[in-house]
Amino acid sequence: MSEIIIPENYSKEVNQEIAVNQIAYGVNDKKIAILKGDFEGICYLCDANTNKAVFETKLSLNKFDSTNLVYVKHFDFSEFKQTGKYYIATEKGVSYPFEISDKPYEEVTKAMIKALYFQRCGMALEEKYAGEYKHGECHNFPAFDVTDPTRVFEDVSGGWHDAGDYGKYITPANQTVFNMMYAYELFNKGVDFDLNIPESENEVPDILNEAKYELDWMLKMQDDNGGVHHKVSTSVFAGNVMPDDDKLENDFNFNEKSEEYLKQHPEIDEEFLKTHQVMSQISLTATGGFAAAMAIAARVYKKFYPDFANKCLEAAKRAFDFAYENKDGGKKWEFNNIYPVGTGVYGDSCWYDEIYWGAAELFRTTGDKIYEQKFAELFKEKFSKTLFGAYHQGGHGSFAYCLCENADKQLKAKVLNEIIKGAENALTIYNRNAYLNCLHDGVNSNENDYYWGSNAGLTNKLGNMISAAYLTKTDKYDNAIRDSISYIFGRNYISQCYVTGFGTKSTKNPHHRPSMFDGVDEPVPGLVAGGPNDRKWERPRKQDGVKQTEGIDWENMPPAGCYIDWEWNWTTNEITIYWNSSCFYVTAYLNSK
Q: Collapse the DSSP code of 271 into the 3-class scheme (helix H, G, I; strand E, B; otherwise coil) and give the result.
A: helix
Residue 260: predicted pLDDT: 87
Q: What is the pLDDT of residue 376?
A: 98
* Cβ atoms of residues 385 and 315 within 8 Å: no
Burial class (CB within 10 angstroms; exposed 0-12, middle 13-18, buried 19+) of 259: exposed
| Residue 556 pLDDT | 85
Instruction: Return the pLDDT at 552.
Output: 72
Homologous superfamily of 18-101 in CATH?
Answer: Immunoglobulins (2.60.40.10)
CA distances to 29, 417, 491, 549, 587 from 179, rounded to whole Å, are: 24, 22, 24, 35, 11
The answer to whether the beta carbons of residues 153 and 279 sit under 8 Å apart is yes
Give the three-class secondary structure for 178: helix
Distance CA 188, CA 170 (A): 25
| Alpha carbon distance 97, 208 (integer Å) | 34
Helix (H) / strand (E) element for 277: namely strand 277-279
Q: Which backbone phi and psi does 356 adopt, to 5 degrees? A: -55, -45
Write a three-state SS string for 419-465: HHHHHHHHHHHHHHCCCCCCCCCCCCCCCCCCCCCHHHHHHHHHHHH
Residue 416 near residue 402 (C-beta atoms within 8 A)? yes
At a CB cut-off of 8 Å and minimum separation 6, what does 144 contact? 150, 151, 152, 153, 268, 272, 276, 277, 278, 279
**CB neighbour list of residue 307: distance below 8 Å, 6 or more residues apart:** none
Query: Could you check whether the bond before residue 340 is cis, i.e. omega within 30 degrees of 0?
Result: yes
Residue 440 has what pLDDT? 87
What is the DSSP track for 304-354? Answer: T-HHHHHHHHHHHHHHHHHHHHTTT-GGGGS----TT--S-----S--HHH
- Kindly state the helix (H) or strand (E) to which residue 259 belongs, with its residue range: helix 256-264
Sign of CA dihedral 361, 363, 365, 366: positive
Look at residues 534, 485, 529 and name the one whose alpha carbon lies nearest to residue 507: 529
Helix pair 454-472, 394-402: axis angle to 10 deg: 20
Burial of 10 (0-12, 13-18, 19+ CB in 10 A): middle
Q: How many CB atoms lie within 10 A of CB 443?
A: 10
pLDDT for 444 equals: 60
Break the chain into its structural domains and give their ranges: 18-101, 141-155+233-279
| Rounded Cα–Cα distance for residues 486 and 437 (Å) | 8
Predicted pLDDT at 133: 98
pLDDT attached to residue 72 = 97
Q: How far is CA 310 from CA 225, 317, 365, 369, in A?
A: 18, 11, 11, 19
pLDDT per position as a tens digit, 445-495: 667 999 999 999 999 999 999 999 999 999 999 999 999 999 999 999 999
pTM (predicted TM-score): 0.97
d(CA 426, CA 476): 12
pLDDT tens digit sequence for 177-206: 999 999 999 999 999 999 999 999 999 999
Report the SS3 class of residue 131: helix
pLDDT score at 550: 64
Amino acid at 268: I
Instruction: Provide the H-helix boundaries in 123-255.
Output: 127-130, 170-186, 206-220
Q: How big is the chain by its Cα radius of gyration, in Å? A: 24
CA distance 478 to 466: 8
Task: Say what the pLDDT of residue 446 is.
Answer: 65
Which residue numbers in the chain have pLDDT < 70? Answer: 1-2, 250-251, 443-446, 546-547, 549-551
| Whether the Cβ atoms of residue 105 and residue 587 lie closer than 8 Å to each other | yes
Which residue from 579, 116, 162, 122 is spatially nearest to 343, judged by alpha carbons?
Answer: 162
Give the pLDDT confidence score for residue 168 in this predicted structure.
98
Answer yes or no: are the C-beta atoms of 88 and 43 closer than 8 Å: yes
